[in-house]
Structure 1
Amino acid sequence: MAKERMLKFVALGREMPAKRPAEERSHDFHEIYAEFAKAKAEEQASRCSQCGVPYCQSHCPLQNNIPDWLRLTASGRLQEAYEISQATNTFPEICGRICPQDRLCEGNCVIEQSGHGTVTIGSVEKYITDTAWENGWVKPAAPARERKESVGIIGAGPGGLAAADMLRRAGVQVTVYDRYDRAGGLLTYGIPGFKLEKDVVTRRNDQLVAGGVTFKLNCDVGVDISFADIRAAHDAVIIATGVYKSRDLGGPGSGSAGIERAIDYLTASNRKSFGDAVAEFDSGQMDAKGKRVVVIGGGDTAMDCVRTAIRQGATSVKCLYRRDRANMPGSQREVQNAEEEGVVFEWLSAPKGFTDKGGRVSGVMVQKMRLGKPDASGRQAPEVIEGADYVEEADLVIKALGFEPEELPTLWGEPGLTVTRWGTVRAEFTSGRTDLPGVYAVGDIVRGASLVVWAIRDGRDCAAAILKDFAAPKAVAAE
């Protein structure tokens, strides 16, 4: 019977959940995709070919057992599908919404390679887990026995929270320290609501509290509490701070008012969505309403910024990127969504400075580029086209140039914390062990700016390593 429900990719075409019309969705911060109905989710799951070598699974950082939960969904066995999904992914409802499936599981689907259109894996994953929440299948940690060991986690982003969940389910006492007033890291303050509505994050945070995880928020390590004190209070410590130091952009006029960092701009917008009083937004500094907005960058953060500016009522929104569309690092799906909403992309365009009027930015000095020979990374290097410069008028410029790690050894007064030449914490692959006994590190602070799904993988792997080390304390001490 199960076989009859599968392999329908020849007869059934690929269908995504319907998108709300651009003219409607561009005025609010609600998610843009409608929900799959039960019949449609089962139908789309049935397109899976159940191939012998599932590239979707091998290209998923979490190695999610995608073919099995697609088969169960097609059979109407949704609770079992959820249990299979949850077995390898701490936050499947979040990954279903924000993972770049076009670059990971869906982009490597066998039937996509054969020209039939990929299975809509992310949308089915979202449907499974949303159904699980509605039916009360998602349960907080309830360990069979409590353990005496204690772990302190610095950073309440996806890597830290994934580790917290795994450790707490094993009965470990877990305390999470975070500088912000809400847990979630970039899930809460970096990613806009139209990609990830905030109640989706909040209910996971609430579940962790219900399961016994302790949160110490508004707690800036190195200021409100020392790293040494955290180490002294716990049997193990996980560093999961992420990377929040924005890459900067120099050139003439770079100090003008009206040039903002992407993280500040997105945080202000997300705080407003929570109903917070945000002085920078209320003053107009971080509000794009009525302004000509230029966003510099080509990654997912840039896409978040341009689409946020549209929703705030900007008169025009342009995105400058120094390479072409095919070579941009951001999701092509997000580019399409942005274009539908009115964003204009200026490809092969790089800033070299800014114009201003009375100390406030009035434009971006743009150099036109062409792609030359491949650089050290193998990508074609942008080259300046002489004599093709122009000025792009702007009232608000947002720099979305990526993130770098903060100087943790200095900030925390811990010179023994070894970092790489890029400033990321040096940690052992898969376990997260650092050079400091009992100290581990996961996520972007190890990898550099990366995907949420990789942070979740790191957090889960690190939790498993810590449990193993707790079972062999002499081996840890010997290190």
Structure 2
Amino acid sequence: MADQTMLKFVTVEKAMPEKRPPDLRKEDFQEIYGEYAREKAAEQAGRCSQCGVPYCQTHCPLHNNIPDWLRLTAEGRLEEAYELSQATNTFPEICGRICPQDRLCEGNCVIEQSGHGTVTIGSVEKYITDTAFEMGWVKPIAPKTERSESVGIIGAGPGGLAAADMLRRAGLQVTVYDRYDRAGGLMTYGIPGFKLEKPVVMQRIDQLEDGGVSFVLNCTVGDEISFADIRDKHDFVVIATGVYKSRELQAPGVGADGLVRAIDYLTASNRKSFGDDVPEFDSGELNAEGKRVVVIGGGDTAMDCVRTAVRQGATSVKCLYRRDRANMPGSQREVANAEEEGVEFVWLTAPKGFKGDRIEGVIVQKMRLGQPDATGRQSPEVIDGADYVEDADLVIMALGFEPEDLPSLWETPKLEVTRWGTVKADFRTHETALERVYAVGDIVRGASLVVWAIRDGREAAEAILAKIAEHTTLAAE
């Protein structure tokens, strides 16, 4: 007999959770998507075709068991669905909100490819875990036995926290060091609230603290504590610093007032949402209110900046990107959301320079797409004689991030790095050239996705636990 719960994609249309209208959501930093009701989540999960080769799972960096937890949701077995999603993903409620599902699981859904509209995997994942928190199914970390081995984790972003979670559950003593005054890394200070409301991050950090993970905040390694001291203090070290050094632009006028870095701009906005005192915001330096804003870049950070500027009350917001819409790296869903909110995208344009000691405008050069580069993407070429000036009072540079020079900053020349400055680590175990020192996330990959950092953190934790088990076995023999 055919399963009456699943395979409803022919009769049931794809339906996202209700999205707040642009004129309302522009007024605040709350998330723009509502929550599924229980019946709607079950209905949408029931659209899954339960295909024999689940491409959604294959294209998920964590290889989440998506078809099975969709089936459990469709059957109303939500607590089991949560347990299954949590088994492979440390932070499903965060991935459900900020993963670019259109490029990963949902973009590779079999029924999407057949023209029926993808299963709304991310929204169901978010619903499952939000329900789990509300119902008290998310239990405190309670190791069965305490172990003496200790791990120092440098960086409280998704990679470091994922490793901390797994290691603490195994009973290890875990200390996380972070330069900021709150844990969470870019999840806390980089991603705006309209994509990821901060209580969602804080509840996971509370869970880690309640479970015995120690946090040492306002602590920059190399200043407040040396890397050598951390190595001496712990049996294992995990480097999960992320990449925070902004790529700089070389052009006439760089250094003018009103030309700011994306990370500074987003951090100020997020601090304000916590109720912090932010002088740079209050002075207007990192506040778009009443200004003509130009954002340079085409990635997800640029999308965060343009949508933040709209909410701060900018008079106009434009995004300059040197390629066209089809070739931009940012999520197409985010581009559509930004356009709905009034952002203007100026494709095939790049800054040539800046006018005024205090920013008055961007000298823009028009581009066209030429031959493909080494990555296969068409390279932008300048169209001679087509320059023009884009008026602006605030220009935000969202050109990506590069790794800091950790061997120099930490006085550890034996920490091997690549020619890009990222830390060299084994792609399976994540161990570096230094024994018992591991590295995960963006500091290894370069700027990447939260979900990849989570995967790295979990794999490094597994490698550490395997090494401990191996030594324990040898000692017993």
TM-score range normalised by the length of the shorter chain: over 0.9
Structure 1 residue 13: deviation in Å? 0.5
Corresponding residue number in structure 2 for 1:424 = 422
Correspondence for 2:319: 319
The answer to whether structure 1 residue 404 and structure 2 residue 428 are counterparts is: no
Q: Do the aligned residues in 2 keep the contact of 1:2 with 1:71 (CA within 8 Å)? A: no
1:192-218: per-residue Cα shift (whole Å, max 9, x none)?
Answer: 000000000000000000000000000
CA distance in 1 between partners of 2:426 and 2:442 (Å): 14
How far, CA to CA, are the matches of 2:146 and 2:352 in structure 1? 58
Q: 1:412 to 1:7 in 2, by over 3 A?
A: same
Residue 385 of structure 2 corresponds to residue 387 of structure 1:
yes
1:197 has 2:181 as partner: no
Q: Is 1:24 aligned to 2:24, yes or no?
A: yes
Name the CA distance, whole Å, in 2 between partners of 1:2 and 1:64: 25
| Contact 1:151 1:234 survives alignment (8 Å) | yes
* 1: CA distance, partners of 2:55 / 2:245: 35
Letter in 2 for 1:263: I
Match of 1:123 in 2: 123
1:276 is matched with 276
Distance 1:78 1:86 in 2: 12
SS in 2 for 1:5: coil
* Partner SS state of residue 360, structure 1: coil
* Between 99-108 and 374-383, the greater mean CA deviation after superposition: 374-383
Does structure 2 conserve the Cα–Cα contact (< 8 Å) formed by 1:367 and 1:384? yes
Tell me how far apart the structure 2 counterparts of residues 65 and 461 of structure 1 sit (CA, whole Å).
Answer: 17
Paired residue for 1:433, among 431, 449, 455? 431
1:343 equivalent in structure 2: 343
Paired residues of 1:469 and 1:476 also in contact (CA < 8 A): no
- Give me the whole-angstrom Cα distance separating, in 2, the residues matched to 1:90 and 1:182: 19
Aligned residue number for residue 156 of structure 1: 156
Q: What's the CA shift string for 1:351-370, capped at 9, x where partnerless?
A: 111111xx101101101111
What's the TM-score, normalizing by structure 2?
0.98
Report the Cα distance in structure 2 between the residues aligned to 1:60 and 1:475, rounded to whole angstroms: 34
Residue 40 (structure 1) aligned with residue 35 (structure 2): no
Q: Tell me, what secondary structure is at the counterpart of 1:128?
A: helix
Q: Secondary structure at the match of 1:175?
A: strand
Q: Is the 8 A contact 1:369 1:385 kept in 2?
A: yes
Whole-Å Cα distance in 1 between the matches of residues 454 and 328 of structure 2? 24
Alignment of 1:98 onto 2:77:
no
How far residue 2 of structure 1 moved from its aligned partner, in angstroms, is 8.4
TM-score, with length taken from structure 1: 0.98
- Does the C-alpha gap of structure 1 residues 474 and 425 become closer, same or farther in structure 2, counting only changes over 3 Å? farther
Q: Aligned AA for 1:313? A: G
1:138 aligns with 2:144: no
Q: Is the 8 A contact 1:158 1:455 kept in 2?
A: yes
- Match for residue 471 of structure 2 among 466, 470, 473: 473
- For residues 474 and 291 of structure 2, the distance between their equivalents in structure 1, rounded to whole angstroms, comes to 57
What value does the CA root-mean-square deviation take over the aligned residues? 1.2
SS class of match (1:426): coil
Shift of 1:141: 1.0
Identity of aligned residues (%): 78
Q: Could you tell me whether the CA contact under 8 Å between 1:5 and 1:75 is conserved in 2? A: yes
Structure 1 residue 472, shift from structure 2 partner:
2.4
Q: Which residue in 2 is equivalent to 1:11?
A: 11
> How much has 1:427 moved relative to structure 2?
0.2
Displacement of 1:470? 1.2
SS of the aligned residue for 1:423 comes to coil
1:414 aligns with 2:412: yes
- Over 3 Å counting, the alpha-carbon distance change for 1:113 and 1:412 in structure 2 is same
The CA deviation string for residues 43-85 of structure 1, in whole angstroms up to 9 with x for no partner, is 0000000000000000000000000000000000000000000
C-alpha distance in 1 between matches for 2:292 and 2:440: 39
For residues 236 and 476 of structure 1, do their structure 2 counterparts lie closer, same or farther at Cα, with a shift above 3 Å needed? Answer: farther
Using the TM superposition, name which of 367-376 and 465-474 deviates more: 465-474
Give the C-alpha shift of residue 304 in structure 1. 0.1
Q: CA deviation at 1:476?
A: 12
Structure 2 residue identity aligned to 1:281: F
- Unaligned regions of 5+ residues in structure 2, if any? none
Amino acid at match of 1:435: A
Q: Would the aligned equivalents of 1:2 and 1:75 in 2 still touch at CA under 8 Å?
A: no
Closer, same or farther: CA 60–13 of 1 in aligned 2, 3 Å: same
| 1:352 partner SS | strand
Question: Any idea what the Cα deviations from partners look like across 1:238-285, whole Å, max 9, x if unmatched?
Answer: 000000000000111111110000000000000000000001001110
Q: Deviations over 1:285-313 (max 9, x none)?
A: 00000000000000000000000000000
Give the deviation of 1:473 after TM superposition. 3.5
2:440 aligned residue (439, 442, 459):
442
Q: Matched residues in 2 for 1:295 and 1:277: separation?
A: 25
Indicate the residue corresponding to 1:244 in structure 2.
244
Q: Distance in 1 between matches of 2:34 and 2:86?
A: 23
Give the equivalent residue in structure 2 for 1:463: 461
Q: 1:415 to 1:2 in 2, by over 3 A?
A: farther
Which residue of 2 is the match for residue 253 of structure 1?
A: 253
8 Å contact from structure 1 (residues 151, 172) kept in 2? yes
Corresponding residue of 1:365: 363
Letter in 1 for 2:79: Q
Shift of 1:140: 1.9
The letter for the 1-side match of 2:264 is: D
Counterpart-to-counterpart distance in 2, 1:13 and 1:227: 54
Provide Cα deviations, 1:297-348, integer angstroms capped at 9, x if missing partner: 0000000000000000000000000000000000000000000000000000
Q: Return the alpha-carbon distance in structure 1 between the equivalents of residues 421 and 381 of structure 2.
A: 29
Q: 2:286 & 2:17 partners in 1: Cα distance?
A: 32
Amino acid at match of 2:389: V
For residues 155 and 131 of structure 1, the distance between their equivalents in structure 2, rounded to whole angstroms, comes to: 29
* Residue 388 of structure 1: how far off its partner (Å): 1.0
CA distance in 2, matches of 1:257, 1:380: 34
Question: Could you tell me whether the CA contact under 8 Å between 1:189 and 1:267 is conserved in 2?
Answer: yes
Aligned AA (2:242): G
Deviations 1:169-198 (A, max 9, x none): 000000000000000000000000000000
Distance in 1, matches of 2:2 and 2:339, equals 41
Partner in structure 1 of residue 68 of structure 2: 68
CA shift digits 1:448-476 (9 cap, x unpaired): 00000000000000000000111223999
Structure 1: any 5+ residue segments left out of the alignment?
none
Alpha carbons of structure 1 residues 123 and 388: separation in structure 2 relative to 1, 3 Å? same
Aligned to 2:59: 59
- 3-state SS, counterpart of residue 431 of structure 2: coil
1:430 Cα offset (Å): 2.3
